Structure 1
């Protein structure tokens, strides 16, 4: 009997305010799949053939990419996606989770020959943005830096009392479009704003000291340019502030928005009622930080 296993990868939220392209967190959204050796390569979703052509399937792409770094060829396989509650093209790391899953599948078939640092390297090479894939691998909140030769990352101590109120609209926003509105150059004062706040933001998350969170999330590099692409985003931030949240930010490239607050059902209901009044359809969910990261079992 051939090898049979399961893979689970969490969704992520990156670009946390001033943490543009360097600070991300794993959240309790999941991509899960059952994998087994087979006589041909096949992808299913809940037992039905996967609707995306195999050459456009990011999991397949990541498996092929990883194979180039393995000594031995892996067998043909069947992948059955049993759960995927990470929204697509909403700024919650759906592509990152698929890439990480593919790398882990190839590594498992090869006998777990890649260490976790190499897995992270391959994921960043494929995805391009470490603040999404690295938290998906390790879980928790992670600070990252990389260039073409080196990747450095550090997990922050994540306090369990913080909730992420995830607000997702019924419209998509591609990363390409969200990047296209950013300027080619910045004022020195805007760069200093972000640099000075980032260190303090990381410190606040590490120590669980949230009294200045909104000020420290106050970015001038990407969010001001992206509000116009996300209908009612500034209005939603104002609502969140009015109902007592600790702070707000655009998740990833958007259009998902996140309010940070303690566990507060009254806040959740107030925001739900306000979102229902808007012309677009918005959902709101309360999520905790996922501390486990990607798992193979």
Structure 2
């Protein structure tokens, strides 16, 4: 059995802790064989555990405490601590591992509920499970979500060669907004979501760049965001936003503009990785 979980790009600007899209970059978990104790084979190095304390196994055991140990092999193209949902993909993989090995027959909504409770918010885990664009809310211990088709475009990811922990990036956020600030921030998010539903990337891109919830506070950690936004504007991109907590920035680009955007990004930082993602429409899959 092999489990595939897509990376995710969350927030989309003003859709803070609520909106996310699955992208074509993947975590794979292969079940090799039963074992006496949990064994997690991977190439991350010593800082990622290889036993029952591994996040994937911990998640599986929270989902199904009586699960028998197995030897599993983990491979991934998702960079760690870059704002592309690496921890969320591990949580979703762990839930699916428990679902299959424990014959739990979890529904999609069951998986999203479990993953959201473990992650704390649904913006990454929901699209990793469902695929495509997901708008979700976690309130009063209940999760509400809607999957929708994300308009076709290239997602150009500028991935710096530096890590940024989500906890560190969250520490700079305000504890509250004024009523008028909250109304403005909410209206921007509402128009952004409506534009995506209508397939209007031009308007969606403009709204993504007017976020009031988090990007301005995190700008200290992502000085490249403003420069990438300038490149996107100059080269015909629809808009760009900080992916998750950063430091990755994603440009939504018409497919005929991608070739002229990428060379400009490479000049900006030769150590950064530039990837062209497509929207993953399927979410978690088992083969």
Per the normalisation by structure 1, the TM-score is 0.89
What secondary structure sits across from 2:18 in the alignment? Answer: strand
Deviates more, 1:48-57 or 1:131-140: 48-57
Other-structure match for 1:173 = 164
Other-structure match for 1:75 = 68
Report the CA distance shift for 1:180/1:154 in structure 2 as closer, same or farther (over 3 A): same
Report the CA distance shift for 1:107/1:203 in structure 2 as closer, same or farther (over 3 A): same
Q: Which of 1, 6, 9 does residue 2 from structure 2 map onto? A: 6
Instruction: Give, in angstroms, the shift of residue 190 of structure 1.
Output: 2.6
Q: Which of 74, 89, 96 does residue 81 from structure 2 map onto? A: 89
1:261 aligned to 2:248?
Answer: no
1:295 aligned to 2:285?
Answer: yes
Report the CA distance shift for 1:49/1:285 in structure 2 as closer, same or farther (over 3 A): closer
TM-align CA RMSD: 2.0
What secondary structure sits across from 2:3 in the alignment? Answer: strand
Q: How many residues align?
A: 284
Q: d(CA) in 1 for partners of 2:70 and 2:47?
A: 17
Other-structure match for 1:139 = 131
1:48-91 residue CA offsets vs partner (Å, 9 max, x unmatched): 998622355210111111124xxxx222211112x310110000
Report the CA distance shift for 1:207/1:174 in structure 2 as closer, same or farther (over 3 A): same
Give the conservation status (yes or no) of the 8 Å contact 1:272–1:283: no
Give the conservation status (yes or no) of the 8 Å contact 1:43–1:50: no
Unaligned runs of 5+ in 1: none
Q: d(CA) in 2 for partners of 1:275 and 1:149?
A: 42
Instruction: Give, in angstroms, the shift of residue 148 of structure 1.
Output: 4.0
Per the normalisation by structure 2, the TM-score is 0.92
What secondary structure sits across from 2:250 in the alignment? Answer: strand
Q: d(CA) in 1 for partners of 2:45 and 2:182?
A: 48
What secondary structure sits across from 1:199 in the alignment? Answer: helix
Instruction: Give, in angstroms, the shift of residue 182 of structure 1.
Output: 1.0
What secondary structure sits across from 1:184 in the alignment? Answer: coil
Q: d(CA) in 1 for partners of 2:71 and 2:84?
A: 26
Equivalence map 1:148-297=2 (5 Å): 148-159=140-151, 161-217=152-208, 218-264=210-256, 267-278=257-268, 281-297=271-287
Q: d(CA) in 2 for partners of 1:61 and 1:187?
A: 39
Deviates more, 1:181-190 or 1:224-233: 181-190
Report the CA distance shift for 1:56/1:172 in structure 2 as closer, same or farther (over 3 A): farther
Other-structure match for 1:101 = 93
Q: d(CA) in 2 for partners of 1:49 and 1:37?
A: 22
Q: d(CA) in 1 for partners of 2:29 and 2:83?
A: 21
1:261-296 residue CA offsets vs partner (Å, 9 max, x unmatched): 1113xx434433333333562222111110000012
Give the conservation status (yes or no) of the 8 Å contact 2:14–2:189: yes
Unaligned runs of 5+ in 2: none
Give the conservation status (yes or no) of the 8 Å contact 2:202–2:239: no
Q: Which of 58, 62, 72 does residue 61 from structure 1 map onto? A: 58
Other-structure match for 2:30 = 34
What secondary structure sits across from 1:212 in the alignment? Answer: helix
What secondary structure sits across from 2:197 in the alignment? Answer: helix
